[in-house]
A and B are shown apart, each in its own frame.
Chain A
């Protein structure tokens, strides 16, 4: 289990009423951005009756559970209000399990093991253009072994070439039978970055097919 895992691109977690469901290392996360701009990575489970927080809403800088409207504050994930008992103080320690989270290289990273590693996360191979994420219906070992046949694997990062493009792929074990593949490419002179990202995305689909169905 790697310490930091990229989970979603930063621009997908917007302020306001946006709660993103994320998967990493067999865990499920509810990701949102507080009014201060800080990304939150929480266990996707309300402390009350275990309903997924991703069914809730962000209102006035609180995650409001969709079931009973319990409100949780950013930072420590503590419950601050229970609408059935408006006057009553909330017991201390009642809150959502939170995870260490960081943003770097345009991605949100979480530490699924629950402890913030000393080093910050870093986008490997330093390729500038994030293309898109792909979900492969297989475990991370199968994905890695297929990719290893035509490039270089170092830990959870693969570098190689598809067509004219040098790409770096970070592999994330989302679930035991699902791998998320984050694809970056090295910018090439003389081609519009958007066109390059489209090209890489189009070509990568056949690689995804081979990853899912190795010959």
Chain B
């Protein structure tokens, strides 16, 4: 198993809490960092995480409708997500989609805006509206989270509830190497943001489970339409993600050349490098 403290000592998502029936029935196993983790509930209904043999206990918590496990020693609490309990927000899990890709590549793809006209044509972008205007990126020193703000994108169909093309405003937040959120223009309530969360379960260095959670203001759309939209977007990204060679993320050296539109990804790679990330990172040039 990896010795990288960045993943060993952090909280990693393993699945929807609803997969464990209430009471002490129900169990499931999840793969994390190349290991099998068994999830169950104890006699008091609290979640429990152990290794396959049932001997080693891992720290586990139920938060934001998911179970999070730490295989080492948790070095800080899980990130805050106050909007999760905001009145009027619709919380919807879109299912976990497996992808044969490094979880770091999956996160970076989520942060990327220059691919929208090419991979999500007629939905999140379209030629000739390809220019990515300057936006701001900074690392919050308090929380050690990355924030990208003022991203402006012309989108033919930004969401299920969008009735036509609109200029969307995006902000991204990266809370952990494998978790991020997007705050985007809410067509139904222009003063609010719709939130799309991507929590990546790193199954091993080159395969992942992508959990997507929506926290939307949308009273009109059906669950199945919202889920279908998200799965369409992720399904379009899947062949791209599965065809990176090298698979692991280069955070050092001259192998890949970013452009200015990649400001968030540049910050993400620098942030990973500064914390000595090794898991799922491409070694060498």
Contacts and interface: CB of A to CB of B under 8 A. Distances in A.
The winner among B255, B257, B258 for most chain A CB atoms within 10 A is B257
B259 A49 contact: no
A131 B48 CA distance: 62
Contact of B131 (A50, A86, A94): A86
B256 to A, nearest CB: 6
Interface string A51-73: 11001000000000011110000
Given A68-B114, A69-B130, A50 B259 contact: no
Interface in B114-130: 114-115, 117-119, 127, 130
Consensus secondary structure, chain B interface? loop
A28 interface: yes
Interface string B90-119: 000000000000000000100011110111
The winner among A44, A48, A49 for most chain B CB atoms within 10 A is A49
B23 interface: no
Interface string B213-255: 0000000000000000000000000011001111000100001
A67 B118 contact: yes
A205 B250 CA distance: 43
B130 A83 contact: yes
Given A66-B118, A69-B117, A84-B261, A52 B256 contact: no
Consensus secondary structure, chain A interface? loop
A84 B119 contact: no
Contacts of B75: none
The winner among B112, B244, B255 for most chain A CB atoms within 10 A is B244
Contacts of A85: 131-132, 259-261
Nearest to B261: A84
Nearest to B248: A50
A47 B244 contact: no
Contacts of B258: 48
A139 B112 CA distance: 40
A125 to B, nearest CB: 36
Interface in A154-208: none
B118 A49 contact: no
Interface residues of A, number: 22
Interface residues on B, range: 20 to 34
Nearest to B260: A85
Contacts of A45: 245
Interface string A67-110: 11100000000000011111010010010000000000000000
A68 B115 contact: yes
Contacts of A68: 112, 114-115, 118
Interface in B134-179: none
Given A83-B117, A86-B130, A50 B260 contact: no
Given A66-B240, A82-B259, A84-B261, A28 B118 contact: no
A85 B114 CA distance: 9
Given A49-B108, A83-B117, A83-B118, 16 more contacts: A45-B245, A48-B258, A50-B250, A50-B256, A51-B240, A51-B243, A67-B119, A67-B240, A69-B127, A69-B130, A84-B131, A84-B260, A84-B261, A85-B132, A85-B261, A94-B257
10 contacts: A47-B256, A49-B256, A50-B250, A51-B243, A55-B239, A66-B240, A83-B118, A84-B260, A85-B131, A85-B260
